[in-house]
Chains A and B, each alone.
Chain A
Amino acid sequence: MKISEIRGTGMRRVLIFAAVFCYGIAGAPAAETVTVYVSNEKDNTISVIDGDTYKVTATIPVGQRPRGIILSHDKTELYICASDSGHIEVLDLKTLKITKTLPSGPDPELFILHPTGNPLYVANEDDNMMTVIDVKKGTFITEVPVGIEPEGLGISPDGKVLVNTSETTNMAHFIDTQTYEVFDNVLVDTRPRVAMFTKDGRYIWVSSEIGGNVSVIDAKTRKVVEVIEFAIPGIRAEAIQPVGIQISGDGKIAFVALGPASRVAVVDAKTFEVKKYLLVGQRVWQLAFSPDESKLFTTNGVSNDVSVIDVKRLKVVKSITVGRFPWGVVVK
């Protein structure tokens, strides 16, 4: 919140703000600092951002073409898909040093951890495979043939079902995590990117980048129950290319990154109605909530920055310069 904004809005607002602010302090767990990690695809670095001051505190050199990033279950490590290096790097978040690499299969792009913290499921974009890795032992478990250009991975809250999107096959593949069998395939719109389960496990949201919409799939029947479309005045339809999705823990609100439209759509996650479009940096792809879901961080690939969205007020409050082509984002 900028001082100038408070000054301009009158005393009443200031009081409300102060009240909210104090409540925020009282309600938050003591001394929990928020840290944001961003992978810079073209710089081969990870930017570390202080989630309260919005300052970049460190820039760490990593492997070639870092894209997907994810926190370990205990949040002490960051796993990094170094796509062109063909492996996953493990960054120790205390020392900010790469401590080891994991085998991943060629061209790892995105991955997801089992809710228990192990194993790790990796989409090998160049290889039509999904690789399963034991992160504790650092070993390869198996690989599952999927569609062409596997990309997004979503896992059900109980860890039983894995959903993988394939960009050129235009499908969401449903995979049993016990048997590694693909047990269903749901056709979605063109070039699916991200798959995201709702916290209650009932629905999977899948973004279609070229199709320009989000399919909501019922996890039980595996039917598309809703297709969320977007329209922004003054923006040509082809520029609306949904990628990143985040759904709040209470299942009420969802955010969808719209790529070259440089907007994040705010969606009522119950009615699937688009409520608002927030202007962020250029070519917005991935999104991540802060742990208390009060803030949402976006990676903007073309403007080389991260936008910060105040989730309560639905306002973009800050832009933070990072490296070239910021891609993945996670918040600790």
Chain B
Amino acid sequence: MIRISFMVCVAALAMWAGAARAEQGNVAVVRIAVLSQLVERPPALSNLEVPPDDSGLLGARMAIMENNTTGRFMKQRFELREKIVPVRGDVVAAFKELVGDGYRFIVANLSPGTLLRVADLPEAKEVLIFNAGAPDDILRNEQCRANILHTIPSRAMMADALAQYLAWKRWPEWFLVVGRRKEDRLFAGALKRAANRFGAKIVAEKVWAFGPDARRTAKLEVPVFTQGVDYDVLIAADEIGEFGEYLMYRTWEPRLVAGTQGLVPTTWDRAHEQWGSAQLQSRFLKTFKRWMNQLDYTVWAAIRAIGEGATRSRSNQFKDIADYIHSEKFVLAGFKGQKLTFRDWNGQLRQPILLATPKAVVSVSPQKRFLHQRTQLDTLGYDKPESICRLN
């Protein structure tokens, strides 16, 4: 361990020295901001794995370090500004301040409504926003914007990824349990669409209305709740984790749980180790002493995309970098076994989706048997003919 931290120090010093040297020889600076608004967290049902406060930010810092390692050879330097707005704070003012300070690349972790509000500001015309936090499909359809790219997969992509795997397993009969929040209904909608697309059937649908804490009562309630339905898999739509964890091992019939708990579609998981991701995982863990989570990954991907745009266009100018990212030449290496690219019709980053349990990756979608004329990745989420958005 001593050796490792020593090496990290040496690398950091070398990087710093490299950056300092480059500065003397006309280094081009690219400024990137992360804009995040804190949300009031409902009391977590599980007292394990409380989402860390620096979720996303550490992904940003990792990506900036990586960009700067390349930058030191390209005479480019990447600077990060972290702007955290309190729960009832003024995001619009924060956004205007960032733009006023010369930030044109803004990675956002905002609610869909706030995201649209800043994207529609006159100040946002010459700004490229990366949505790293809102999975809402409406942002990829009716409410898409030309100045937003999405590195977080949409709910439809997640639901399709799960549906493909369940179809491959031939577990087509789903019992859908939906939470009481709006987000849960949106994910349930994505699951219904996915069931329809991949030949599954929702044989029962129930709303979990037993309140926010099922810790002491689930043992009695879940068996009755799931009684009398013939199904293959219990699918939970419970994004904040109010009850999903407590369905498992308590159903009337011995059945598996998937969806927001159990077997979960996600774009990043600590158990993911394929395609060189073991390197990114261990780099992250060594540097920050915690595992990389999904928000870290979507923010990381956004900043790496900007880095790639700057490296390949050999420029620090907004237009050059943005044009490169929007061009057909753009490719992001995202530790997913294939190149990641943006959909030109709605700005969504195409990406394989992991299907994970707490300690293992079970499979990665798209599943092989679902073919597509362009790329199999377009079997996940709203494909060009289905999307209402027409950016290109």
A147 to B312, CA, bound (A): 16
Interface string of B7-18 (1 = CB under 8 A from A): 100110011001
Contacts of B276 in A (CB 8 A): 149, 167, 191
A211: Cβ under 8 A from any B Cβ? yes
Given contacts A167-B276, A169-B73, contact A212 B339 (CB under 8 A): yes
Pick from A105, A106, A185: contact of B73, CB below 8 A: A185
A183–B323 CA distance with the chains assembled, in angstroms? 31
Cβ contacts under 8 Å, A149 to chain B: 276, 279
Complex Cα spacing A210 to B333, Å = 7
Q: Which residue of B lies closest to A184 (CB)?
A: B73
- When each residue 65-83 of chain B gets 1 if its CB lies under 8 Å from chain A and 0 otherwise, what string results? 0100110011000000000
**Chain A CB within 10 A, most for which of B10, B69, B311, B375:** B69
Chain A residues with CB under 8 Å of B282's CB are: 126
A185–B73 Cα distance when bound, in Å, is: 7
A145 contact from B10, B70, B286, B337, Cβ within 8 A: B10
In the complex, the answer to whether A148 meets B66 with C-beta atoms within 8 Å is yes
Whether A147 contacts B73 by the Cβ 8 Å rule is: yes
Partner of B376, one of A147, A185, A210, A236: A236
Closest beta carbon of chain B to A148's beta carbon, Å: 5
- Residues in chain A near residue B376, CB distance under 8 A: 236, 238
In the bound complex, what is the Cα–Cα distance between A260 and B338 (angstroms)? 10
Assembly CA distance A278 to B219 (angstroms): 58
Is A170 a contact of B70 with CB atoms below 8 Å? yes
A308 contacts B by Cβ under 8 Å: no
Q: Is the beta-carbon distance between A129 and B70 smaller than 8 angstroms?
A: no
Could you say which residues of chain A place their CB within 8 Å of the CB of B333?
167-168, 170, 190-191, 210
B169 at interface by CB-CB < 8 Å:
no
Q: Are A106 and B3 in contact (CB under 8 A)?
A: yes
Residue in chain B with minimal CB distance to A151 = B276
Candidates B10, B69, B332; contact of A147 at CB < 8 Å: B69
Given contacts A105-B7, A106-B3, contact A187 B311 (CB under 8 A): yes
Verify if A38 is at the interface (C-beta below 8 Å from B): no
A106 touches B7 (CB 8 A): yes
A-contacting residues, B257-296, CB 8 Å: 276, 279, 282-283, 286
Q: How far is the CA of A237 from the CA of B339 in the complex (A)?
A: 10
Does A238 lie within 8 Å of B279, measured CB to CB? no
A173 to B74, CA, bound (A): 12
**A171 at interface (Cβ–Cβ under 8 A)?**
yes
**Does A125 have its Cβ within 8 Å of any Cβ on chain B?**
yes
Chain A proximity of B316: nearest CB distance (Å) = 16
* Complex-state Cα separation, A149 to B66, whole angstroms: 10
Shortest Cβ distance from residue B333 to the other chain A in the assembled complex, whole angstroms: 5
Q: Does B48 contact A (CB under 8 A)?
A: no
Q: For window 335-387 of chain B, which residues contact chain A by CB distance below 8 Å?
A: 337-339, 375-376
Interface status of B4 (Cβ within 8 A of chain A)? yes
Q: Which of A106, A145, A171, A210 contacts B339 (CB 8 A)?
A: A210
User: A133 CB to closest chain B CB, in angstroms?
Assistant: 15
A190-B339, A211-B331 known; A147-B70 Cβ under 8 A: yes
In whole angstroms, how far apart are the Cα atoms of A173 and B72 in the complex? 12
B70's contact among A127, A169, A239, by CB below 8 Å, is which? A169
| Interface assignment of A128: CB less than 8 Å from any CB of chain B | yes
Q: B69, A238: Cβ atoms under 8 Å? A: no
Interface pair A125/B11, CB less than 8 Å apart? no
* Interface flags, B44-78, vs A, CB<8A=1, else 0: 00000000000000000000001001100110000
A205 to B32, CA, bound (A): 35
Q: B78 CB to closest chain A CB, in angstroms?
A: 13
- Whether A171 lies near B70 (C-beta < 8 A) is yes
Q: Are B7 and A168 in contact (CB under 8 A)?
A: no
Q: Which B-chain residue is minimally distant from A211 (CB atoms)?
A: B331
Q: Give the complex CA separation of A105 and B337 in angstroms.
A: 27
Which residues of chain B are near A148, meaning CB under 8 Å?
Answer: 66, 69-70, 283
Q: B-facing mask of A285-299, CB < 8 A → 1, else 0?
A: 000000000000000
State how many angstroms separate the Cβ of B226 from the closest Cβ of chain A.
Answer: 39
Nearest B residue to A212 by beta-carbon distance?
Answer: B339
Per-residue interface assignment for chain A, residues 111 to 146, with 1 indicating a CB less than 8 Å from any chain B CB and 0 otherwise? 000000000000001111100000000000001010
A238 touches B375 (CB 8 A): yes
CA distance A288 to B339 in the complex (A): 27
Kindly state the separation between the CA atoms of A210 and B351 in the bound complex, as whole angstroms. Answer: 13
Neighbour of A210 across the interface among B7, B74, B331, CB < 8 A: B331
- Nearest chain B CB to A211's CB is how many angstroms away? 7
Complex CA–CA separation, A321 to B6 (angstroms): 42
Task: For B18, give the chain A residue with the smallest CB separation.
Answer: A145
> Which B residue sits closest to A149, measured CB to CB?
B279
A→B interface (CB under 8 Å): 105-106, 125-129, 143, 145, 147-149, 167-171, 173, 182, 185, 187, 189-191, 210-212, 236-239, 241, 260
Task: Provide a sorted-by-A list of 15 A–B residue pairs whose CB atoms are within 8 angstroms.
Answer: A126-B279, A145-B10, A145-B11, A148-B70, A149-B276, A167-B276, A167-B333, A170-B70, A187-B74, A187-B312, A210-B331, A210-B338, A210-B339, A236-B375, A260-B337
Given A147-B73, A170-B70, 17 extra CB contacts under 8 A: A127-B7, A129-B10, A147-B69, A147-B70, A148-B66, A168-B66, A168-B70, A173-B73, A185-B73, A185-B74, A210-B333, A212-B339, A236-B375, A237-B375, A238-B375, A241-B338, A260-B337
* 3 closest cross-chain pairs (CB), A and B: A238-B338, A145-B14, A185-B73
